[in-house]
Amino acid sequence: MKTQVCIVGAGPAGLLLGHLLRLQGIECVVLERRTPDYVLGRIRAGVLENITVSLMERLGLDARLKAEGLPHAGFNLADGERMIRIDIAELTGQQVVVYGQTELTRDLMDACEERDLEVVYGAEDVALVDIESDTPKVTYLRDGVRHRVECRFIAGCDGFHGPSRQAIPADRGQAYEKVYPFGWLGILAEVPPCNHELIYSNHERGFALASMRSEARSRYYVDVPLTDRVEDWDDERLWDELAVRLGPEAAANITRGPALEKSIAPLRSYVFAPMRFGSLLLCGDAAHIVPPTGAKGLNLAASDVYYAAESLTGFFGRSDNDAVAGYSDKALSRVWKAERFSWSLTKLMHRFPEDGPFERAMQKAELDYIASSRAAQTSIAENYVGLPL
Ligand code: RFL
Ligand code: PHB
């Protein structure tokens, strides 16, 4: 098969990019290893920045997001003694929208047929070939038959473990990485949220987050040692822990219910630079990971896709070679700022095993400063709603 852009991975990054390219009349095909149901079964992000919402608007795929998404004008930082509300609407004039990654992915999936975006599910053993040349190829196995896609560009949207980044010779890029000594144990339950806004809590027993998917569906997290397994946490133990870590006010409003999903995600900061190598452009988790504390991962995937679509449209529409050459610098400039924010909020809101009284005093002092300073709150708010493109 011949096409202009071969996209590897049909997560949010791959599908968003595919739709944006089709909107511009650019030919593309998306190769996905899993089935649609598997992709939709991954419970991940919940908070969308304006930039992600506006890409869905631009695609005309925002009807359900507008109808069912919950606009949030603020969120809270708690530490067992107090709750600091960050009024993002007042401080920035913007809001975030709570709408699950699963729902956003479903909206993108449902539109593929009508928009003539071809997605090949069950594409196994994907391999990238000749990526440094102007005639790269992607090969894959489907039903035991090997296929080959010839294209002008490959978009690597295949997440952290996919083959795209690994196709770049190690000596042609630099990986920056920080692994955190804990993971987030998440629970999804069909119960009303304990608070109408998110609460991030740094309690002496550890971190907790109260989030939601709708007015009837809650998402909660606690941080756990990397040695813990999901089986160590039956529902009651997890609800008890959440009640303690979120503090008495929130605890009084927690409705318990059986877990629809429970999983542990390790926390990591990671950036691979540059994000382009020859004819390969990396987007989303394929190029970078943030710890979930800042709710940035999906939104960064969306901003990468915005820059990638601009670059590829420039190349195919105006024969502008520089458009693609500039992709990595533009994307990375926003990526690094989101990395910094996610890392600093993670440090502020978690108890690290190696921390002593000094580090704890620093966290307290920083929370005191945030509680008393509009400038500090504005800085957090503008990062949380997403820095400009
Ligand atoms: P994805 O979603 O991992 O999709 C990559 C796709 O590529 C496919 N793939 C392959 N396809 C073909 N061949 C191969 N060999 C392949 N290998 C992999 C995969 O099957 C998959 O379909 O990456 P993408 O599109 O870059 O999207 C990134 C986001 O999923 C991620 O950043 C966010 O979920 C992170 N995240 C959050 N982001 C936010 O913006 N706000 C949040 O509130 C938020 N909360 C979270 C999160 C991530 C979490 N976990 C579990 C890591 C909360 C959690 C708990
Ligand atoms: C979520 O609802 O899954 C969620 C919300 C905010 C975060 C991370 C995850 O920072």
Set 19, 203, 262, 296: catalytic member = 296
Nearest CA to ligand 1 atom 17: 162
Is the pLDDT score of 203 beyond 90? yes
Ligand at minimal distance from the CA of 223 is: 1
Is the pLDDT score of 377 beyond 90? yes
Is the pLDDT score of 43 beyond 90? no
Q: How confident is the model at residue 81 (pLDDT cuts 50, 70, 90)?
A: confident
Say what the pLDDT of residue 346 is.
98
Q: How confident is the model at residue 314 (pLDDT cuts 50, 70, 90)?
A: very high
Q: What is the mean pLDDT of the chain?
A: 97
Give the count of beta carbons closer than 10 Å to the beta carbon of residue 256.
Answer: 15
Dihedral over alpha carbons 279, 282, 283, 285 (to 10 degrees): 160
CA–CA dist 384, 342 (Å, integer): 9
Q: How confident is the model at residue 44 (pLDDT cuts 50, 70, 90)?
A: confident
169-173 mean pLDDT = 95
Q: How confident is the model at residue 313 (pLDDT cuts 50, 70, 90)?
A: very high
Is the pLDDT score of 338 beyond 90? yes
Say what the pLDDT of residue 167 is.
98
Say what the pLDDT of residue 385 is.
98
Q: How confident is the model at residue 62 (pLDDT cuts 50, 70, 90)?
A: very high
Nearest CA to ligand 2 atom 6: 295
Instruction: Give the tens place of pLDDT for each residue, 280-289.
Output: 999 999 999 9
pLDDT-wise least confident of 38-47, 87-96, 149-158, 204-213: 38-47
Q: Based on the residue annotation, tell me whether 38 is a catalytic residue of this protein.
A: no
Is the pLDDT score of 149 beyond 90? yes
133-143 mean pLDDT = 97
Is the pLDDT score of 358 beyond 90? yes
Proportion of the chain above pLDDT 90, given as a percent: 97
CATH 3.50.50.60 fits 5-45+101-177+268-345, yes or no: yes
Pocket of ligand 2 (CB under 6 A): 45-47, 198, 211, 219, 292-293, 295
Nearest CA to ligand 1 atom 40: 298
Q: Please give the distance, rounded to the nearest whole angstrom, from the Cα atom of residue 367 to the centre of ligand 2.
A: 20
Nearest CA to ligand 2 atom 7: 295
pLDDT-wise least confident of 145-154, 313-322, 357-366: 313-322
Q: Please give the distance, rounded to the nearest whole angstrom, from the Cα atom of residue 48 to the centre of ligand 1.
A: 14
Ligand at minimal distance from the CA of 102 is: 1
Ligand at minimal distance from the CA of 47 is: 1
Q: Based on the residue annotation, tell me whether 72 is a catalytic residue of this protein.
A: yes
Instruction: Give the tens place of pLDDT for each residue, 318-330.
Output: 988 889 999 999 9
Say what the pLDDT of residue 45 is.
86
